[in-house]
């Protein structure tokens, strides 16, 4: 899921740049918001995986 959201964020970032370049600032803003959300969702999945790995490692050490 992490890579999926990174790809979606990159595509939406390119879409944001395109809309900004063509002067459609409303669509650029919407694309930027969606790109930001996709980026942070990808980051959330990465952190969730890291926290779960740390929890498994600490339970194995006990």
Supply the pLDDT for residue 22: 97
CA distance 43 to 30: 20
Supply the pLDDT for residue 2: 86
Reported pTM: 0.82
Supply the pLDDT for residue 41: 95
Whether residue 6 contacts residue 42, with contact meaning beta carbons closer than 8 Å, is answered with: yes
Residues 6+ apart with CB under 8 A from 45: 1, 2, 5
Flag whether pLDDT at 61 surpasses 80: no
Residues across the chain: 62
pLDDT tens-digit series, residues 5-36 = 999 999 999 999 999 999 999 999 999 999 99
Count of CB atoms within 10 A of residue 47's CB?
A: 11
Supply the pLDDT for residue 62: 66
Secondary structure class of 49 (helix, strand, coil): helix
């Amino acid at each position: 899921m992490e890579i999926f959201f990174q790809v979606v964020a990159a595509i939406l970032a390119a879409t944001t740049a395109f809309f900004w370049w063509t002067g459609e600032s409303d669509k650029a803003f919407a694309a930027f918001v969606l790109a930001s959300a996709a980026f942070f969702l990808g980051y959330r999945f990465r952190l969730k995986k890291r926290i779960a790995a740390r929890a498994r490692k600490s339970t194995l050490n006990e």
